[in-house]
């Protein structure tokens, strides 16, 4: 059964007995009558202002500042970033820093999309969090988003002292498409012989853009799951990667990177049991583990794709954010996290 074109959209028969009861209740109350983004014009989805319902409140930060970055390695407009700074005085060497990249399939989302997660990482991870407002497809397909996030990383490295940052303590993370871009940043740095990052925070990351229902068990099993059914993921991919030759490009699919995985930073990864992206995330984690790099993988039982953005509605979402905050705190303040 393919997805119908008009609401309501009840949970599919292949999912209804496997999905988390808390998610199912929220879905049936708040989402069942909403048109999925891949079945409506992009501009309609972008105008809604909410990528995923169910987010909790912002956490208190000392300051929130927007910056416009002039490029140094790529062509294009200035890149906007938002810096969340913790309350209080920084450590003597400066604040640790975490670059965090929003999700939305490289097509949706903006600098406001994951403010909640960013403020949690700032307040509870005691780090400056820099979120990136990268360009979106289809207007700006691959590799525009990669170049934009890379410019933000370079800016943090170059401006760290002026911003009172300790760039020897730098993490990077993101959700979904943002997790994809975070992993690519670590690999690009490693290609240059640099080990800039102390930690990767990867939530339901896209690791293999060649995956589909024919070659990937999670895609086949979860193709009708809510949040990110297979048809929606293909819709995102076709906008971001209109050239099929790019689907296995390592900067589109980090699973296919040919570099030395032992040069990559440790990772904390959360995946959903009912997510089409589960298997490729676990494959990437296994590559890290095989190379001797620690990767803590947390499978959220019964959860489809967008749980981390639903921390007010789902215990699993709140737990995922806590796992990231704890991992960031351990990486940046190891002596106090024993």
Active site residues: 176, 275, 305
The answer to whether 189 touches 200, Cβ cutoff 8 Å, is no
CA 338 – CA 335 distance, rounded (Å): 6
> What tokens appear for 262 in the block?
């032992």
Whole-Å CA distances, 63 to 86, 87, 119, 231? 7, 8, 10, 40
Buried-state track 101-122, b at ≥16 Cβ within 10 A, e below 16: bbbbbbbbbbbebbbbbbbbbb
* Residue with the two structure tokens 């990136």: 132
Q: How many residues does the chain have?
A: 338
81 φ/ψ angles, rounded to the nearest 5 degrees: -135, 160
Q: How many CA atoms lie within 13 A of 241 on its CB side?
A: 21
- Asked whether the CA dihedral 326, 330, 332, 338 is positive or negative, the reply is positive
| Angle formed at CA 240 by CA 239 and CA 245, multiple of 5 degrees | 105
The answer to whether 145 touches 134, Cβ cutoff 8 Å, is yes
Q: How far apart are the first and last CA of the chain?
A: 51
Question: Which residues are paired to 248 by β-bridges?
Answer: none
Q: For the beta carbon of residue 67, count every other beta carbon within 10 angstroms.
A: 15
CA 252 – CA 244 distance, rounded (Å): 11
């Amino acid at each position: 059964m393919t997805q119908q074109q008009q609401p309501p959209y009840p949970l599919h028969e292949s999912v209804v007995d496997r999905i988390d009861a808390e998610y199912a209740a929220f879905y049936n109350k708040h989402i069942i009558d909403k048109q999925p983004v891949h079945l409506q014009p992009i501009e309609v989805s972008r105008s809604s202002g909410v990528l995923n319902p169910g987010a909790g409140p912002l956490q208190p930060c000392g300051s929130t500042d927007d910056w416009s970055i002039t490029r140094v390695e790529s062509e294009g407009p200035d890149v906007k970033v938002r810096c969340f700074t913790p309350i209080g005085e920084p450590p003597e060497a400066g604040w640790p820093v975490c670059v965090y990249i929003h999700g939305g399939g490289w097509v949706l989302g903006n600098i406001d999309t994951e403010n909640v997660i960013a403020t949690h990482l700032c307040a509870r991870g005691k780090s400056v969090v820099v979120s990136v407002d990268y360009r979106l497809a289809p207007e700006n397909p691959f590799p525009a988003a990669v170049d934009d996030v890379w410019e933000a990383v370079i800016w943090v490295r170059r401006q760290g002292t002026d911003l009172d940052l300790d760039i020897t303590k730098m993490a990077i993370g993101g959700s979904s498409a943002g997790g994809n871009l975070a992993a690519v940043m670590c690999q690009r740095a490693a290609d240059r012989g640099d080990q800039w990052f102390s930690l990767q925070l990867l939530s339901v990351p896209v690791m293999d853009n060649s995956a589909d229902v024919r070659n990937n068990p999670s895609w086949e099993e979860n193709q009708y799951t809510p949040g990110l059914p297979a048809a929606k993921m293909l819709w995102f991919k076709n906008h971001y990667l209109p050239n099929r030759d790019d689907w296995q490009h390592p900067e589109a699919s980090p699973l296919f990177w040919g570099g030395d995985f032992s040069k990559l930073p440790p990772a904390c990864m959360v995946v959903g049991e009912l997510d089409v992206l589960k298997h490729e995330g676990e494959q990437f984690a296994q590559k890290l583990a095989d190379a001797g790099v620690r990767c803590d993988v947390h499978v959220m039982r019964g959860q489809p794709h967008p749980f981390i953005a639903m921390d007010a509605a789902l215990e699993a979402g709140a737990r995922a954010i806590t796992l990231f905050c704890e991992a960031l705190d351990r990486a940046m303040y190891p002596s106090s996290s024993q």
